[in-house]
Amino acid sequence: MIRKAHLKPLLTWKTSLFLFLIAALALSSCEKEEEEDSSIRVVPRAFYNNEPLEFGALYTENYGYTFRIDGFKTYLSNVSIEDEEGNSYLIRGISLIDFDDPSSWVVEIPQGKYSKFNFSVGVPENLNKDNDPAAYENNHPLSVYGSAGMFWSWNSGYIFTKFEGKANLEGEDTPIIDPFAFHVGEDFLYRSHEENISICLGEDQQTIYLDFHTDQFLGSGQNSIDIATDNITHTSGNVELAERFVSNFNNAIEVN
């Protein structure tokens, strides 16, 4: 009969072996195989207070106003992923994300370890100005059809981000009819992001979530936006407000 006192080292040895095998398997799955590809999926998501954003739902912003979000669109460009050796793989050149019906992207890239995820918000300078949307095919995000109201004909450039809706600025019992609209563009508001990640891409598909926390778009503290007084920018008409919004917006993006 084996005494109970002898069970502890036996279990410890088995546990150690099991953990060693799991660790070895994990490391081996991160080995970059020659000419072996796998897939990665990028999913843009919008949240309000860590819950999925609902268009038309009533929310309360920082100053206590009841409001609803009726539209949120943004251009993302030069979306790429970088491995530990510094090799970069393009996921998406440019795409317009309508968060009323967001799309995700799946691309094939080599297996291995990836440490950076890069993207920019807006339309790159070489594509933004002095380009005719009619020159693009309808399925292109910069075309007349594809840009879907994200082009300023009077300003000859693209709107990088639209965030708009209506609020109740007069009190609890009054209608929600006061509009707010943040339409931001111009080359100097183009922003690039380089995010550290840790992804081991083996045979199975991996997913990266690109999360936009819309409750942070109006900011807080010194950078807060009071929609009772600062509620409209088409950029050139209110550059200072556009800059504040863009700062809040870019700080509200999280990669998971």
pLDDT tens digit sequence for 173-224 = 778 999 999 999 999 999 999 999 999 999 899 999 999 999 999 998 888 9
**pLDDT on residue 156:** 76
**Does residue 243 lie in a domain region?**
yes
**pLDDT on residue 29:** 54
**Does residue 248 lie in a domain region?**
yes
pLDDT of 9 > 70? The answer is: no
- pLDDT (mean) for 88-93: 97
Please list, in sequence order, all residues whose beta carbon lies within 8 angstroms of the beta carbon of residue 178, skipping any fewer than 6 positions away: 166, 167, 168, 169, 170, 227, 231
**Does residue 34 lie in a domain region?**
no
As a whole number of angstroms, the distance between CA 164 and CA 181 comes to: 4
3-class SS of residue 71: strand
pLDDT band at 31 (very low <50, low <70, confident <90, very high): low
**Does residue 39 lie in a domain region?**
no
DSSP state of 171: -
As a whole number of angstroms, the distance between CA 242 and CA 225 comes to: 10
Task: Tally the domains of the chain.
Answer: 1
Q: The tokens of 154 are what?
A: 């009077």
**Does residue 136 lie in a domain region?**
yes
CA distances from 27 to 109, 164, 244 (A): 19, 47, 44
Q: How many CA atoms lie within 13 A of 166 on its CB side?
A: 9
Q: How many residues does the chain have?
A: 256
Domain extent, residue 225, equals 48-255
**pLDDT on residue 4:** 41
**pLDDT on residue 7:** 40
**Does residue 247 lie in a domain region?**
yes
Q: 181: buried, middle or exposed (CB in 10 Å: 19+, 13-18, 0-12)?
A: middle
CA distances from 219 to 54, 76, 128 (A): 20, 21, 27
Question: Concatenated DSSP letters for 79-104?
Answer: EEEEETTS-EEEEEEEEEEETTS---
pLDDT of 28 > 60? The answer is: no
- pLDDT (mean) for 133-140: 94
pLDDT of 169 > 60? The answer is: yes
**pLDDT on residue 14:** 56
Name which of 101, 59, 107 is nearest 214 in CA terms: 59
pLDDT band at 35 (very low <50, low <70, confident <90, very high): low
- pLDDT (mean) for 108-137: 95
As a whole number of angstroms, the distance between CA 16 and CA 21 comes to: 9
Instruction: Identify the weakest region by mean pLDDT among 78-92, 101-115, 146-160.
Output: 146-160
**Does residue 43 lie in a domain region?**
no
- pLDDT (mean) for 60-87: 96
pLDDT of 10 > 80? The answer is: no
**Does residue 15 lie in a domain region?**
no
pLDDT band at 8 (very low <50, low <70, confident <90, very high): very low
**pLDDT on residue 6:** 44
As a whole number of angstroms, the distance between CA 244 and CA 164 comes to: 15
- pLDDT (mean) for 32-49: 87
